[in-house]
Structure 1
Amino acid sequence: MMAAALCVVAACGGGSDDKGGSAAPSASGSASQADVLGPISKATGAPVKIGLISEGANPVADASDEARIAQATVKWLNEHRAGIGGRPVELTVCETLGDLSKASDCGNQMIDDGVAAVIIGTSGVVESAWKPLNDAKVPVMVYGSSDPGLLSSPTTFSLGDPTFSVIDLPIQVAKDKGNKKVSAIVIDVPAALHSAQEVAPPLFEKAGIGYVLVRVAPGTADMTPQMQQIADNGSDEVFIIGNDAFCISAMNGLKAVGFTGTISAISQCITDATRKAVPGGTLKGMVVSATAPIGPDSPSMRLFLAVANTYGKDIDTSNQGSLTMFTLLAGLQTATQGITGDITSATITSTIKAMKETELPGAGGLKFRCNGKAIPDQQAVCVRGGLASTLDDKGQPADYKVLGNTPIPD
């Protein structure tokens, strides 16, 4: 029930200090860009209000890119994808600033504003924003969460496999490398801890691999003491869950104490800021889970860049969180294809539940289906498996592999 991958999303929204970072291939050229965006199909009529709840900029992480790419994506959907049900999408934005009470206020604000559905982006307080919406039966689309109630909700749709990114992947890395003991370095926020504390231990035990949880507070600049504990406890692999600033501190702390084992991480660890602050020798060979296929040229990357470059401004296209937000909004629009009549929370929910399995926009070839059968006891989950990549000596992913994305039954 852990939204493993969610922690990913949860606390890990940070991006690099550079806009349009080096990880992104070029998507310039008006003719080719127009082809990538698709034919014009403009939305008309009364707008459909969709809510966006995002972390925004706060002392722990800066997720301001989410609102920028969301607005760009909405412009593209309204001009090239006929919005939702032929009607234009109108975005209502609320920022939580990483605060539990503000998150709850954002959820209630969306209800007061009469939105038909809500996207919740990268957030360490996703459950607080989600709860009032769930109580009001407003459909919510997220990348993931560690909250069992959220994952069992009939009006919530999660685009991340809850165990892939933070449990299945490090276990597979340990098996491939012959490692015997994994220390998970986890940012100490609620959205990250359920999976790390409750779900991971029995799965690692079942795999015959030792497991140690190391909780570290957000904003900890010097992690040398915690990393020394890992060097002393016999771990031959670490797995890091946090935003880029958190991961930089962890990786440099590991280097300072002379850790020589395997380092793996969630995708939000790797941005241009990480590449500048962490030696290439530390990054080379690191296996990362991926919420989005940032970096190498691919159909997903070309579409994302075309949307960001055509309709957006000052968007960090090297940031996994930017592409994840694109996928959430484009995924909502894709899942509601064919909706007719009144567009309400109820009709959006029923249309999404009835969708056929299809490719998830911007997700590197992953397919999704939201009929509640991807993981039977977690009906909110719409995706099985995920993406993984191995980094080169510049901290760049060479390519992405789709792992475990098996068909979801009728």
Structure 2
Amino acid sequence: MPTIPRARGLSLLALVVAPLLSVTACGDWGTNASASGSDGSDAAASPDTRPSAAVVTDYRSYVGGQLAEVDAKQSPVTLGWVNVEGGPDGSPEATLGAQAAVKYVNDKLGGIGGHPLRLNVCTVVSTEEEGGKCGQQLLTDESVSAIGVGDLFVGDDAFSSVIAGRKPVLVGVATGPTLPTATNTYSTFGDLPHVFGTWGTYAREVLKANSVAVIHTKTPGDLVASTAAVKGLTAAGVFVKSVEFDAGVTDLVGQIRADKADTADVIVPISLGAGCVEIAKALKRLAVTQPVVSTPLCMSPDVAKGLGGDLPTWTYGVAQTLPADTSAPDTRAFLTASAEVGLSPDTASKVLAPLGWSTILTYAKVLNTIGADKVTPVSVSEQLKKFTGPVVMGAAEVQCGKYKDAPAVCNDQTRFYQYKGKGVFHPLTDWIHPYR
């Protein structure tokens, strides 16, 4: 079963968002006659959910690869790479996915105009200082014209301070708190505060909901995520109530009943680990049948463990085509291609592996456009500023610099999946934008 970026990293996004928006209401909820079944699978798709035409499955065409083999005598084109790994919260699969993509570019796509592509890897284990050291290592290496980032949820502040925009940085999901605002940085899958706006579109346009209960703890990370979701829901014209509980509370039945959250058309749990477990237990005891639409924060092994071995069979929104969704052509293309260069199925099934893969292939596209002999930090930055997608395993279209408060965020779209249990996810929508 796939995992997601570590909860610790996601909770750090509390430092990114503007002052919290508090939306509460008293009295009864609006009618729930328009809500769909508990799994959301009976919902009628809105225009925002139609399949995208630009799904990346032909990697050679995507990167502009040559049929010729790499000439080992040619000077390599080198990318930097930084990721948190080596400790208990690390994500080595991000680096493994990136390295597999480099091998695929060299073995199958002719490198960068016949030049071999290389990766200068620097890892952060657990401290902010290590991020600064990685920044220094990759900044002083003159062969490195651009840097890829995996799951840099710690060390990102020091890293970004050292790089200071002097070399372009491309990241899949901006899990570190400073990455969304970092200079000359580009996040092709976005960050939590901006992708969570899509919960409003899904609730209103797909589920036809009038009322939503957002259930979350008072911890900083959960407040960030819930604020973003509430903002998106409110913008869509949905009646919203935030139901807060203290972390560590083990029985939420009474509070959910008192706040009438169990009578809303849709319920949105936003928490981590034990909080997700307690929400799931309470909703089960209350025999809730309306749709439960969770953020990816609850898609973690500790939640499955706390519930006896599996995740809640809820709907989940994710800013990526899941590697578990083998019905998707881009998933099949990734699994087939990555296996050809030795990436194990177990590693490929973890969402950070295709994120690393995607980042490298995006760079390959950019570098081939420039030409190996003209690659510089300036030329790469110019191409990234103009990049509009499609993104491998991601959205068909992105727009970098769209948000003034988060100039590095290029994506604000999400896909929604129904979890069927035992690692099986059923896609419910294509890419959905925040309500507009």
Does the pair score TM above 0.5?
yes
Following superposition, the deviation at residue 345 of structure 1 comes to 1.5
1:90 has 2:90 as partner: no
Q: Which residue of 1 is the match for residue 332 of structure 2?
A: 302
Q: Which residue of 2 is the match for residue 263 of structure 1?
A: 292
1:157 has 2:189 as partner: no
Tell me, in whole angstroms, the C-alpha distance in 1 between the residues paired with 2:127 and 2:399. 32
Identify if the C-alpha distance between structure 1 residues 148 and 47 changes in structure 2 by more than 3 Å, giving closer, same or farther: same
Tell me, in whole angstroms, the C-alpha distance in 2 between the residues paired with 1:395 and 1:249. 17
Tell me, in whole angstroms, the C-alpha distance in 2 between the residues paired with 1:77 and 1:362. 17
Given residue 312 of structure 2, which amino acid in structure 1 is its aligned partner?
L
Aligned with 2:369 (options 333, 338, 343): 338
Identify if the C-alpha distance between structure 1 residues 209 and 312 changes in structure 2 by more than 3 Å, giving closer, same or farther: farther
Given residue 123 of structure 2, which amino acid in structure 1 is its aligned partner?
E
Deviations 1:346-396 (A, max 9, x none): 2211122244x4421222x623354x3x44664433335232222235452
Q: Which residue of 1 is the match for residue 385 of structure 2?
A: 353
Of 90-99 and 324-333, deviating more is 90-99
Given residue 55 of structure 1, which amino acid in structure 2 is its aligned partner?
V
SS at match of 2:430: strand
1:210 has 2:236 as partner: no
Deviations 1:109-128 (A, max 9, x none): 32234432222222433642
SS at match of 1:366: coil
Of 66-75 and 203-212, deviating more is 203-212
Counting only pairs closer than 5 Å after superposition, residues 117-132 of structure 1 correspond to structure 2 as: 117-125=146-154, 127-128=156-157, 130-132=159-161
Tell me, in whole angstroms, the C-alpha distance in 2 between the residues paired with 1:102 and 1:146. 17
Identify if the C-alpha distance between structure 1 residues 367 and 202 changes in structure 2 by more than 3 Å, giving closer, same or farther: closer
SS at match of 1:397: strand
Counting only pairs closer than 5 Å after superposition, residues 194-343 of structure 1 correspond to structure 2 as: 194=224, 196-197=226-227, 199-206=228-235, 207-212=237-242, 224=250, 229-230=255-256, 232-235=258-261, 236=264, 237-240=267-270, 242=272, 249=277, 252-254=280-282, 258=286, 260=288, 262-267=291-296, 269-270=298-299, 278=307, 283-294=312-323, 295-314=325-344, 315-340=346-371, 341-343=373-375
Following superposition, the deviation at residue 272 of structure 1 comes to 7.5
Do 1:103 and 1:126's aligned partners in 2 also have CA atoms closer than 8 Å? yes
Of 298-307 and 164-173, deviating more is 164-173
Aligned with 2:196 (options 143, 166, 169): 166
Tell me, in whole angstroms, the C-alpha distance in 2 between the residues paired with 1:312 and 1:323. 14
SS at match of 1:87: coil
Do 2:195 and 2:414's aligned partners in 1 also have CA atoms closer than 8 Å? yes
Tell me, in whole angstroms, the C-alpha distance in 2 between the residues paired with 1:147 and 1:281. 28
Normalized against structure 2, the TM-score is what? 0.68
Following superposition, the deviation at residue 158 of structure 1 comes to 1.3
Tell me, in whole angstroms, the C-alpha distance in 1 between the residues paired with 2:334 and 2:100. 10
SS at match of 2:85: coil
Tell me, in whole angstroms, the C-alpha distance in 2 between the residues paired with 1:334 and 1:64. 24
Following superposition, the deviation at residue 327 of structure 1 comes to 1.6
Of 181-190 and 320-329, deviating more is 181-190
Identify if the C-alpha distance between structure 1 residues 142 and 194 changes in structure 2 by more than 3 Å, giving closer, same or farther: farther
Q: Computing the radius of gyration over CA atoms, which structure comes out larger, 1 or 2?
A: 2
Do 2:370 and 2:379's aligned partners in 1 also have CA atoms closer than 8 Å? yes
Following superposition, the deviation at residue 85 of structure 1 comes to 5.0
1:75 has 2:103 as partner: yes
Normalized against structure 1, the TM-score is what? 0.71
Tell me, in whole angstroms, the C-alpha distance in 2 between the residues paired with 1:41 and 1:193. 52
Do 1:37 and 1:306's aligned partners in 2 also have CA atoms closer than 8 Å? no
Q: Which residue of 2 is the match for residue 396 of structure 1?
A: 424
The aligned length equals 368
Given residue 347 of structure 1, which amino acid in structure 2 is its aligned partner?
S
Following superposition, the deviation at residue 146 of structure 1 comes to 7.5
Do 2:326 and 2:332's aligned partners in 1 also have CA atoms closer than 8 Å? no
Aligned with 2:164 (options 123, 129, 135): 135
Given residue 325 of structure 1, which amino acid in structure 2 is its aligned partner?
G
Q: Which residue of 2 is the match for residue 11 of structure 1?
A: 10
Tell me, in whole angstroms, the C-alpha distance in 2 between the residues paired with 1:264 and 1:53. 33
Deviations 1:202-233 (A, max 9, x none): 4444434334375887xxxx762578755654
Deviations 1:28-81 (A, max 9, x none): xxxxxxx9775854444222222222222544x341211222211110012223
Do 1:387 and 1:403's aligned partners in 2 also have CA atoms closer than 8 Å? yes
User: Which runs of 5 or more residues in structure 2 are unaligned?
Assistant: 12-56, 61-65
SS at match of 1:316: helix
Identify if the C-alpha distance between structure 1 residues 158 and 8 changes in structure 2 by more than 3 Å, giving closer, same or farther: farther
Do 2:190 and 2:409's aligned partners in 1 also have CA atoms closer than 8 Å? yes
Deviations 1:84-108 (A, max 9, x none): 4543222222332343333333333
SS at match of 1:239: strand
Given residue 85 of structure 2, which amino acid in structure 1 is its aligned partner?
G
User: Which runs of 5 or more residues in structure 1 are unaligned?
Assistant: 13-34
Do 1:186 and 1:214's aligned partners in 2 also have CA atoms closer than 8 Å? yes
Do 1:271 and 1:319's aligned partners in 2 also have CA atoms closer than 8 Å? no
Identify if the C-alpha distance between structure 1 residues 288 and 194 changes in structure 2 by more than 3 Å, giving closer, same or farther: closer
Q: Which residue of 2 is the match for residue 106 of structure 1?
A: 134
Tell me, in whole angstroms, the C-alpha distance in 2 between the residues paired with 1:307 and 1:189. 40
